[in-house]
Chains A and B, each alone.
Chain A
Amino acid sequence: MTAELWQITWFTIAVSALSTALILPLGIPLAWLLARKDWRGKSLVETLVALPLVLPPVATGLILLKLLGRRGPIGGFLENSLGLQIVFTWKAVVIAIAVMSFPLLVRSARIAFEEVSPRLENVARTLGAGPVRVFFSITLPLAARGVFAGSILAFARALGEFGATILVAGNIPGKTSTLSLSIYNEIQLGHDDQAFALLGISVLLAFGAVWFSEWCLNKNRKALR
């Protein structure tokens, strides 16, 4: 494998892992709130979270570009106050794939939380456990499989993200090019061999992620028996 292929592969894995790690602390509490509580504005939040699943990825990318660009409300603020530039950098790649994979994590985690019987949580409360202990000792361990599967799904989605990323981060070789962006690039340039090598890596990574998730889930199932 050439140095360029290594760079693209590691860059893709790194940004995907980072984006998954970033959405976990936000996605898990949100999924729990959606599963267990009723609050004002819940439907609106539910819709907003699901939006990247139904919008064309390029449209999501365009929204992000407008928000994070130098003249955008968030991008402008970050550049003026912290001197931080987002668009067309690796940070934009992370944000784009985080936004695109966030709904998958929240959906899986929410279903997992809904499947935990509230009766178990209620009994834990009568045994003296406060809300935080109930969450970490009962709800989260019992929902762990679903939360984990959601994280893997989000990671796999991040690996393959294309539409939003290309708009907000561009396709700059060595800087923002991920596997899917590079495949597109190589096909455009007529480098079919390179494209197929990248395709092979993509298939291996996706296969590895799903296989690892299944392996962990089986292990978890055996432990629960």
Chain B
Amino acid sequence: MVPKQKSEGTPLKIVLQNISLQVGVVQLQIDTTLSGPSTGIFGPSGAGKTSLLEIITGLKKPASAFIQVGDRIMTNTSKHFHLPVQHRNIGYVPQDLALFPHLSVRKNLAYGQQSTPENQPTIAWEHVIEVLEIGDLLERGTTSLSGGEKQRVAFARALMASPRLLILDEPLSSLDETLKEKIVAYLTKIRNEFSIPMLYVSHNPEEIKCLCDEVVHLSQGKIIFQGSPAELLTRKISKFNPR
């Protein structure tokens, strides 16, 4: 893993108040404030991580919630307010990346960039291409890309929309160790170059330690720990090696 550098992301308060939603057998119950700039969401499968992300992006409607990202209220169920997904300006890279298979890499990237007429783009096309080193891939179809190339294109597409918050759902889970290291290096570059606050979901504490400033540990839909990634790692080690 690449050693952690000082995070350059802009601190952005994310208020997640009174979030409640039944997801299968798990009752998601979250009440916290994240101050990032890069926050890891850690927990085993079925802990409710993806559901929480989908609530923040607006893709899932919670039973109750007050969600504010920076100065923008996203959801306030007590006032029946739910900002539509397309107006939230939250970049989301799902686990399966969801690259548009019928569009070339260039058109995938342009999709996000074209879609923000109300927001002045703060991120330049060339900058993203350069940082993620995808200049040679632009004319290719997405189905012919390797795993690592697909990851970089998915990150780039999310960045092109100049999001106020970037959410990455287990971006490394399907990659082998060598590729993981490479992608972590790219993620570090993204964090340092674009100053976008990040929510980074993973069930690997090492990854979180590399990339995040704070971490929230979810279990059975509830937060059981919130603090620094180093503390999380210590807790995990002491749990597995009890004295």
User: Range of interface residues on chain A?
Assistant: 10 to 19
Nearest A residue to B157, CB-CB: A127
B57 within 8 A of A: yes
Nearest B residue to A122, CB-CB: B59
Contacts A119-B94, A224-B143 given; does A128 touch B89 at CB 8 Å:
yes
Which one of A119, A122, A129, A142 lies within 8 Å of B111 (CB-CB)? A129
For the complex, give the distance between the alpha carbons of A185 and B73 in Å.
Answer: 72
| B 143-169 to A, binary, CB cutoff 8 A, 1 in contact else 0 | 110000000000001100100000000
Q: Which residues of A in the span 116-130 have a Cβ within 8 Å of any Cβ on B?
A: 117, 119-120, 122-130
Q: Which residues of B in the span 60-110 have a Cβ within 8 Å of any Cβ on A?
A: 84-92, 94, 96, 98, 100-102
Interface centre among B98, B144, B158, B161 (most CB of A within 10 A): B98
Q: Are B102 and A126 in contact (CB under 8 A)?
A: no
Q: Are B98 and A117 in contact (CB under 8 A)?
A: yes
For the complex, give the distance between the alpha carbons of A141 and B3 in Å.
Answer: 43
Contacts of A120 in B (CB 8 A): 98, 100
Q: Are A142 and B86 in contact (CB under 8 A)?
A: no
| A 103-137 to B, binary, CB cutoff 8 A, 1 in contact else 0 | 00000000000000101101111111110010001
A49 within 8 A of B: no
For the complex, give the distance between the alpha carbons of A128 and B163 in Å.
Answer: 10
Contacts A122-B85, A224-B143 given; does A128 touch B96 at CB 8 Å:
no
For the complex, give the distance between the alpha carbons of A133 and B144 in Å.
Answer: 26
Q: Are B141 and A225 in contact (CB under 8 A)?
A: yes
B93 CB to nearest chain A CB (Å): 8
Which one of A123, A130, A225 lies within 8 Å of B98 (CB-CB)? A123
Contacts of B226 in A (CB 8 A): none
Q: Which residues of A in the span 189-214 have a Cβ within 8 Å of any Cβ on B?
A: none
Nearest B residue to A137, CB-CB: B111
Q: Are B98 and A128 in contact (CB under 8 A)?
A: no
Contacts of A141 in B (CB 8 A): 102
For the complex, give the distance between the alpha carbons of A133 and B84 in Å.
Answer: 14
B60 CB to nearest chain A CB (Å): 10
A193 CB to nearest chain B CB (Å): 50
A138 within 8 A of B: yes
Q: Name B's A-contacting residues (CB within 8 A).
A: 57, 59, 84-92, 94, 96, 98, 100-102, 111-112, 115-116, 141, 143-144, 157-158, 161
